[in-house]
Amino acid sequence: MLHLNRIVLSTCLVVFALVVQICVLARLQLPGAVPDLLLLVVLGLALVYGHTGGALIGFAAGLLADLAPPADHAAGRYALVLCVIGYLAGLAKPESGQLRSATGPMLVVVAAAIGATLLYAGVGILVGDDAARQVGLGKLLFTAALYDLLLAPFTVPLIMGLARRSENDPMADSAGGGGESTSRWISAAGGVSTGRVGRMSRLRRPGRAARIGSQRGGLLARTGKNRTARIKGVKRL
Check pLDDT > 50 for residue 51.
yes
Asked if residue 149 belongs to a domain, the reply is: no
Domain-embedded: residue 140: no
A 10 A CB-CB count for 74 gives: 14
Q: Determine the pLDDT at residue 171.
A: 52
Do residues 93 and 104 touch, judged by C-beta distance below 8 A?
A: no
What ranges in 34-126 are assigned the alpha helix state H?
37-67, 77-90, 103-126
3-state secondary structure 112-157: HHHHHHHHHHHHHHHCCCCHHHHHCHHHHHHHHHHHHHHHHHHHHH
* 178 falls within a domain: no
Would 237 be classed as within a structural domain? no
User: Is the pLDDT at 222 greater than 50, yes or no?
Assistant: no
Q: Grade residue 140 by pLDDT with cuts at 50, 70 and 90.
A: confident
Q: How far apart are CA 3 and CA 5, in angstroms?
A: 5
Please give the distance of CA 156 from its chain centroid, rounded to a whole number: 1
pLDDT tens digit string along 180-203? 555 555 655 554 334 443 443 443
Q: Cα(143)–Cα(132) distance, rounded to whole angstroms?
A: 13
More confident: 171 or 123: 123
Domain-embedded: residue 66 = yes
Who wins on pLDDT, 73 or 198? 73
What pLDDT sits at residue 106? Answer: 87
CA 65 to chain centre: 20
Domain count for the chain = 1
| Residue at 111: amino acid letter | A
For residue 55, is it within any domain? yes
Assess if residue 51 is contained within a domain.
yes
SS3 223: coil
Expressed as residue numbers, the domain containing 57 is 33-94
Tell me the whole-structure pTM to 2 decimals: 0.71
Let me know if residue 211 belongs to a domain.
no
Cα–Cα distance for residue pair 156/228, rounded to 1 Å = 40
The DSSP-derived string for 160-217 is: HHHHHHHTT-THHHHTTTTT--HHHHHHHTT----HHHHHHHHHT-HHHHHHHHHHHH
